[in-house]
Amino acid sequence: MEITVGDAVPVRATRNRSLVTRIIQSKESAIFLALLIIMGVITYVAPKFMSTSNLFLVSRQVSFVAIVAFGELFVILTGGIDLSVGSLMALAGTAAAYPMSIGMSVTAAVAIGIGVGLLMGAINGWLIAYVKIPPFIVTLGMLSTASGLVLGLTKGWPITNIPVRFLPVAQGEWLKLPIPVWIALALGVVAHVVLTYTAFGRRTYAIGGNEQATFLSGINVKKIKFMLYVISAVAASIVGIILVARFNSAQADTGRGWELDAIAAAVIGGTSLAGGSGSILGVVIGACIMGAIKNGLVLMRVSSYWQTAVIGVIIVLAAGLDRLKAKRS
Amino acid sequence: MESALIDMQGICKAFPGVRALNNVDFSVQPGEVVGLLGENGAGKSTLMKVLAGVYKQEAGKVLWQGQATRFHTIQDANQAGISLIFQELNNCPNLKPLDNLFLGRERFLKGLPFLDYSAMRAKALELFAYLGVQVDLDREIGSMSTAVQQMIEIAKALLTDVKLLIMDEPTSSLSDKETAQLFKVIRELKARGISVIFISHKLNEVFEITDRIVVLRDGENAGEINPRTGTMDQLINLMVGRELSTLFTRRTGSGIGGEVLRVEGITGAPRVLDVSFSLNKGEILGVAGLIGAGRTEMARMIIGADPKTRGKVFIEGKLVRIKSPRDAVRAGIAYLPEDRKTQALILPMTVRENLTMSIHSLVLRLGTFLSRAKENAVTDAYVSALDIKISDREQVVNNLSGGNQQKVVIAKWLATKPRILILDEPTRGIDVAAKAEVHRMIGSLADQGVSILLISSELPEVLSLADRVLVMHEGRVKAILAQSEATQETIMNAALVTEVQEVSA
């Protein structure tokens, strides 16, 4: 038998499923259908939902959650978790807002904010990838540490005196869409390309599928894991900084509980917490579903106390449906 | 003739697109050891799953002790006296032997909700003495050898009133000595009237231990063989439906060149002590030894998967520092791990994605993005070169047969164009035909100048392929035998005998 590999002869054509079939059969299309149904129901009960002004607000809110969830997705794809995103939002926001408030250039201040987030992500990544402490513990510790840092440094007082020219980052619009939506779209495209078309992305999925095999394939698993936590922290920091522009101040309790929203958006979007499967598109739809339901409940005058309960039920429902589908196939 | 313990008649079972079993008859008498053989996909597992109530057959009936029966779950089957011992052991590695043994069958202090450890300990010691194994009751069972864990599984079966023991590839990770111990136990059980169904790819063992061999091929009865009168050739004939004369013919290594790899004094925990050897261009160096002799550990240290405390690796005379599998790939060393499912394949990924896993840098477009066209070209080339049977390169590897999965792993490593190939149990758990193909492939690669380190627990495999045989024993190189010196006896002698001997190099 000759097994030198010379010219590549296509031995068998890939079964060509048409684009339409692939779209219909994709996991994302089922979730998208769910989104449409949810939006339909909300519109029926509260027609105001579809008004331009309401959709403007909802889409802006959704884009914040989506960006945090993009970062979370990278980590979850390897079977990890990042619980620190919420408090990193507050930390990065504070780190950017303070220099701004004392007159430093907006660009430099934003860079400082992102830099601080990046540093914290690097600490997360180093402890997880190289010291091998479980992600749950490390990021739980970071959640507490970062939030304590913010409270300690600001003594709980908000940082105000934010330069007016920074505010459009959250409050402005372009082509009738809120600026944060454009930022989320841009980041989403980049994240999608990285996950789908680069070796880094392929390896991220591979680690989630079988970490040991990936390691033995000659891939630097530690470096990739390290970078994933940096990515997650930076994504959270970006949102934290935009929220400074949104509220015209940096608040110590910004981002509280957002780690759960981000994880929920990923799970509703079809991401497996065991790692190995999930997509940016799914996360976007997941974030939309959460945003639509939260807003719908507000429009239907349901008390905000009940909202959390509804979201909780939906997360479990989404994961349950996924399980059911996996069982059937 | 007394009535059969189990009698399956005309069993039919289909899965979407596949007729898994077609009108299969299978019976076991009390106290009989029956070998169940067939290539992968011949229907052995499906038949056993119908027997144990995991699957429901479409046609045919199952008689258990003469009564038409249908078990609805494995628990049902257990209750009736059927125990299954799988290839992958079903135990809790974090628990100690007693907790595993009595899981779900705990003994309690009279009238109290507390475990009666002294009663459980006494019963366990009795069972282990009967089975002739030494078990440390104070250690977690995950840290014990496969052989001991398997004995604990058998002890678990004996705790119940077992009548039929189904063993699926029980010896695949046992050394010859441990296998002999297992066979002793099987004969004991047989003497007590317990029946055993023995599923294995190791044909000589099947001949040794069974009373009757039932062969399935493509989901149908292919025939039966009496191990006392039948021959290996007849058996293989039944299994594959054709002669496999190339099986286990001794290779004559030609054109072996100069030294490619030299390992000096590699030492590390656990179980690798001062290992030195050299490997030449185009040579196959077999590595034999008992399970636990440190062969896999040595390989993992060479490729940097585990740290070594001492020792050097030279490639073509130059000292190389290999600190991770990535360094090894760069140095031209490919390592095929012993367990393809847990260590080599990303099961939920496609054939293409698995095949290009180690060569991402070679299939890039614009230096950044993975090129689907290049990936497809590489995949197609290797799929056709290795004759991997897939319907589509986007097929998920989890759905492939063992033999085809192993070929994907081989393809993945050949794609890195290695100079040195370390194969760790390359034919474990794959069927006879695929095995012969993998053997031919290994020979052909050596002929093309690839240097191969072949770690294998199957002596016929080592004997038929290796140009020299390195025998390891308790972490050390015990002997390096030239092809002319290497026989089943000399290898086993080196692998088994404990006293210190002169190492012949």
Chain B residues in contact with A219 by the CB 8 A cut-off are: 325-326, 357-358
- CA distances (Å), origin B44, targets B26, B39, B154, B245: 11, 9, 21, 25
For residue B65, give the CATH number of its domain: 3.40.50.300
pLDDT digits (tens, 9 = 90+) for B328-352: 999 999 999 988 888 999 999 999 9
- Say yes or no: B74 and B190 in one domain: yes
CA distance B284 to B443: 8
Residue found by looking up tokens 């006879």 in the block: B432
Of B335, B343, B369, the CB nearest to A198: B369
Among B370, B384, B414, beta carbon nearest to A11: B384
Residue B353's domain comprises 345-417
Residue B1 lies in a domain: no
Which residue in the set B349, B378, B385 is minimally distant from A206, CB to CB?
Answer: B349
Percent of all residues in chain A with a pLDDT value above 70, rounded to a whole number: 93
**Nearest chain A Cα to B392, which residue?**
A14
Residue B300 has pLDDT above 60, yes or no: yes
Predicted confidence band of residue B246 (pLDDT cuts 50, 70, 90): very low
Quickly state the pLDDT bin for B18 (edges 50, 70, 90): low
CA distance A37 to A53: 21
pLDDT digits (tens, 9 = 90+) for A160-179: 999 999 999 999 999 989 99
- Quote the minimal CA–CA distance from B174 to chain A in Å: 23
pLDDT band at B2; cut points 50, 70, 90: low
Say if B16 is an interface residue toward chain A (CB within 8 Å). no
Residue A21 lies inside a defined structural domain of this protein:
no
B399: nearest Cα among B433, B339, B348: B348
Is residue A280 within 8 Å of A293, Cβ to Cβ?
no
Q: Report the residue from B344, B377, B380 with minimal CB separation from A216.
A: B344
Note the pLDDT of residue A315: 80
Domain boundary among B240, B262, B281: B240
Contact state of B381 with A219 under an 8 Å Cβ cutoff: no
**In chain B, positions 429-468, which contact chain A (CB-CB < 8 Å)?**
437, 440-441, 444-445, 448
Q: Is the pLDDT of residue A243 over 90?
A: yes
Q: Are residues B364 and B486 in the same domain?
A: no
B123 is a domain residue: yes
Q: Which of residues 376-435 of B touch A (CB under 8 A)?
A: 376-378, 380-386, 390-394, 412, 414-416
Q: Tell whether B166 is covered by a domain.
A: yes
Q: Is A16 domain-assigned?
A: no
- Looking at the fold, whether B453 and B362 belong to one and the same domain comes out as no
Residue B486 contacts residue B478 (beta carbons within 8 Å): no
Is A10 a residue whose pLDDT tops 60?
Answer: no
Give the whole-number percent of chain B exceeding pLDDT 70.
93
Q: Residue B446: helix, strand or coil by DSSP?
A: helix
Cβ distance of B412 and A217 shorter than 8 Å: yes
Same domain, residue pair B199 and B262: no
Classify strands B33-37 and B212-217 as parallel, antiparallel or unpaired.
parallel
Task: Tell me the pLDDT tens digit for each residue of B109-139.
Answer: 888 888 889 999 999 999 888 888 888 888 8
A111 to chain B nearest CA, in Å? Answer: 26
> Nearest C-alpha of chain B: how many angstroms from A180?
28
Is B60:B12 a contact under the CB 8 Å cutoff?
Answer: yes
Q: Which of B343, B364, B383 sits opposite A11 (nearest CB)?
A: B383
- Same domain for B327 and B377: no
Question: Does one domain contain both B170 and B76?
Answer: yes
Is residue B246 assigned to a domain?
A: no
Are residue B426 and residue B473 in the same domain, yes or no?
yes
B138 and B125 in one domain? Answer: yes
| Number of CB pairs, chain A paired with chain B, less than 8 A apart | 120
What is the span of the domain harbouring residue A226? 30-37+48-323
Helix axes A85-101, A52-77, angle to 10 degrees: 120
Q: Taking 60 as the threshold, does the pLDDT of residue B504 lie above it?
A: no
When the pLDDT of each residue in chain B is averaged and rounded to a whole number, the result is 86
* B192 plus B202 within the same structural domain: yes
- Is A14 part of a structural domain of the chain? no
Bigger pLDDT: A68 vs B436: A68
Task: Say which of A5, A205, A213 has its CB closest to residue B382.
Answer: A5
d(CA A55, CA A223): 41
Distance in angstroms (rounded) separating the CA atoms of residues B335 and A139: 35
Q: Do B337 and A216 touch (CB under 8 A)?
A: yes
A210 to B345: CB separation less than 8 angstroms, yes or no: yes
Chain-chain contact of A213 with B382 (C-beta, under 8 angstroms): no
* Tally of domains in chain B: 3
Q: What is the CATH number of the domain that holds A275?
A: 1.10.3470
B322 and B443 housed in the same domain: yes
Q: Are B347 and A277 inside 8 Å of each other by CB?
A: no
Q: Is B247 among the domain residues?
A: no
Domain total for chain A? 1
What is the C-alpha separation between B196 and B343, in angstroms, rounded?
A: 31
How confident is the model over B66-112, as pLDDT tens digits?
888 888 888 888 888 998 887 666 788 888 888 888 887 888 888 88
Of A8, A15, A205, the CB nearest to B377: A8
Q: Within 10 A of A28 (CB to CB), how many other CB atoms are there?
A: 18
pLDDT of residue A23 exceeding 80, the answer is no
pTM value > 0.95: no
Nearest residue, CB atoms, A218 vs list B329, B384, B391: B329
Q: Kindly state whether residue B339 falls inside one of the protein's structural domains.
A: no
The least confident of A58-72, B148-162, B406-420 is B148-162
Same domain, B256 and B353: no
pLDDT at residue B487, as a whole number:
81
If you average pLDDT over residues A55-65, what whole number do you get? 95
B306 near A CB under 8 A = no
List pLDDT tens digits, range B346-393: 999 999 999 999 999 999 998 889 999 999 999 999 999 998 888 889
Within a domain: A205: yes
Residues 201-240 of A with CB under 8 A from B: 202-203, 205-206, 209-210, 212-220
Q: What is the mean pLDDT of residues B467-473?
A: 92
Is position A4 within any domain?
Answer: no
SS3 annotation, B109-145: CCCCCCECHHHHHHHHHHHHHHHCCCCCCCCCHHHCC
Q: Which residues of B touch A209 (CB under 8 A)?
A: 346-349
Residues of A in contact with B440 (CB under 8 A): 1
DSSP code of residue A303: -
- Which pLDDT band, with edges at 50, 70 and 90, does A5 fall under? very low
Q: Are residue B298 and residue B407 in the same domain, yes or no? A: no
Q: Which of B220, B240, B260 is the last residue of a domain?
A: B240
The 10s digit of each residue's pLDDT in A200-224 is 999 999 999 999 999 999 999 999 9
Q: What count of residues does chain B have?
A: 505
DSSP state of B342: I
> Where does a domain end: B417, B433, B459?
B417
Q: At what angle do helices A52-77 and A280-299 cross, to 10 degrees?
A: 140
What confidence score (pLDDT) does residue A9 get?
A: 42
Q: Which residues contact A148 (CB under 8 A, 6 or more apart)?
A: none
A15 falls within a domain: no
Residue B338 is assigned to a structural domain of this protein? no
A22 in any annotated domain:
no
**Structural domain includes residue B162:** yes
In a domain, A1, yes or no: no
Q: Do the chains contact at B414 and A3, CB–CB below 8 Å?
A: yes
pLDDT on residue B88: 63
Average pLDDT, chain A: 90
